[in-house]
Amino acid sequence: MSDTDSAADSAPDTTASSPLLTRLPDVRDGLTDLYRDLHKNPELSFAETRTAGIVAERLRKLGLRVTTGVGRTGVVGVLANGDGPHVLLRADFDALPVTEQTGLPYASTADGVMHACGHDMHVTCLLGALDLLADGRAHWSGTITAVFQPAEEIGQGARAMVDDGLFDRFGTPDVVLGQHVGPFPAGTVGCHPGPALAAADALAVTMYGKGAHGSRPEAAIDPVVMAASTVMRLQTVVSREISGGDTAVVTVGALNAGTKDNIIPDTAELRLNIRTYTDGVRARVLEAVKRIVRAEAEASGATRSPDIDPITTFPVLVNDEAAVRRTVTAFRGHFGAERVFDPGPVTGSEDCGIFGTASGAPVCYWFFGGTAPASYRKAVAAGTADRDIPSNHSPHFAPVVEPTLSTGVEAMTTAALTWLSSGKR
């Protein structure tokens, strides 16, 4: 057994977080105000300047050593408290190009931009945990590096921070810890060992035809029909080329062509999103997609091959099994076993794992619920959970503030203390 395995399997002190969490009621109102402010003022990837400024100011007030502009708009705060393990705590803070439809009094004021994935909650919970940890230094020792990451939604933020010397400048962590709010009952925490979130490949496809008047289709090579045929054929990739024991998702999220009803355009554009868990399945799906796109263009008589360009790529997020055992044991000790669950592999994607692969540190990444428990139970009982519970990236996605916020603060604090050395009691 390696030293890492031995340390990860050691029994954590599940009461370590209790003295710190007694302050949570005192800071909860301020955190609620912060969350609503961040939700009201979302910023897109690599444009999170206001958010970064708020984060940096709060970290300085907590006594952390703060560095801004890491990976363009990222913020890093370091809290050193004697000898002990080095723990990286991560939150992302970019929003999405979504028009909010929640009707909340603190709904987004930015036109066409919304925190539809809950990153505002992630920031608030990490700042809350850091407040408790900074005030409770007597109960732990070691070093905390708090990473507030930009541009997760486009899969570039973690890599940008690593490429900007994150580990050279702030040291290599012993573990990477992160969390994500999701459409589970608020007050619960879910963590899956092994491949936990899927790899994602987004592609931009441009198909070339020949424009003409809508009344003379014989003079055209219609890219709209070409694109429509491609969309339908792509539905066979998963159903006919991937084993039933493997997992893959192929989604065409956008099809854009033409400007007027009586004009056959020259081009059509598709935006594809592919999710997989293994390198073999990923390679097979990508090859099938490219083959189908090119074959449909040729079948339509296109005189130019389509362009297939990558947009974003996320690697599989693999949760270290020993790290999950250690952290989940602490969660069960704090929350109770009935509030801790295994969500299984999630087909969503995350670039938090890059911090682990780039540093060589184990990763433990978990979910915490954001749906009102009564609403969740009602939808599950009716068999309408997929329809009635807004998921991440929906214009209706809005975590209930409580107990979501408190659970996220408690989970991050508990996880951090599980890995840090015990201090004076």
Each residue's pLDDT tens digit, 51-75: 999 999 999 999 999 999 999 999 9
Q: Comparing 3-197+316-422 with 199-314, is the CATH topology the same? A: no
Correct CATH for 3-197+316-422 of 3.30.70.920, 3.40.630.10, 3.40.50.1110, 3.40.50.720: 3.40.630.10
What letter would DSSP give residue 390? Answer: P
Q: What are the sequence ranges of the domains in the chain?
A: 3-197+316-422, 199-314
Q: Residue 16 has what pLDDT? A: 58
365-385 mean pLDDT? 97
Alpha helices in 210-363 (DSSP H): 223-234, 236-241, 279-299, 321-335, 353-359
Answer yes or no: is pLDDT of 368 > 50.
Answer: yes
Over pLDDT 90: what percentage of the chain?
95
> What tens digit of pLDDT does each residue of 250-307 get?
999 999 999 999 999 999 999 999 999 999 999 999 999 999 999 999 999 999 999 9
Answer yes or no: is pLDDT of 409 > 90.
yes
Of the pLDDT bands very low, low, confident and very high (cuts 50, 70, 90), residue 18 is confident
Q: What average pLDDT does this structure show over 138-155?
A: 97
Average pLDDT over residues 355-371: 98
Task: Tell me the three state secondary structure of residue 46.
Answer: coil
Average pLDDT of the segment spanning 185-211: 98
CA distance 355 to 173: 9
Confidence of residue 14 (pLDDT cuts 50, 70, 90): very low
More confident residue, 4 or 388: 388
Both structure tokens of 109: 């004021």
Average pLDDT over residues 320-346: 97
Look up residue 108 and give its amino acid: S
Structure confidence at residue 424 as a pLDDT band (50, 70, 90): low
CA distance 358 to 162: 7
What pLDDT sits at residue 185?
98
Q: What percent of the chain has pLDDT over 70?
A: 96
Report the SS3 class of residue 182.
strand
Mean pLDDT of 227-244: 97
Q: Which residues of 99-114 are buried (b: 16+ CB within 10 A; e: fewer)?
A: ebebeeebebebeebb
| C-alpha–C-alpha distance, residues 367 and 345, integer Å | 12
Using the predicted structure, report yes or no on whether residue 350 has a pLDDT greater than 90.
yes
Residues 366/183, Cβ–Cβ less than 8 Å = no
What does the pLDDT read at residue 193?
Answer: 98
| Candidate CATH numbers 3.30.70.360, 3.40.640.10, 3.30.43.10, 3.40.50.10490; the one for domain 199-314 | 3.30.70.360
- Side-chain-facing half-sphere of 77: CA atoms under 13 Å: 27
384: pLDDT strictly greater than 90: yes
Query: Cα(275)–Cα(296) distance, rounded to whole angstroms?
Result: 22
| Reported confidence tier of residue 6, pLDDT bands at 50, 70, 90 | very low
CA distance 205 to 330: 46
**How would residue 131 be classed by pLDDT, with cut points 50, 70 and 90?**
very high
pLDDT(157) > 60: yes
3-state secondary structure of 41: coil
The residue whose two tokens read 């031995």 is 6
Place 5 in a pLDDT band, splitting at 50, 70 and 90.
Answer: very low
Query: Exposed, middle or buried by CB within 10 Å (0-12, 13-18, 19+), for 19?
Result: middle
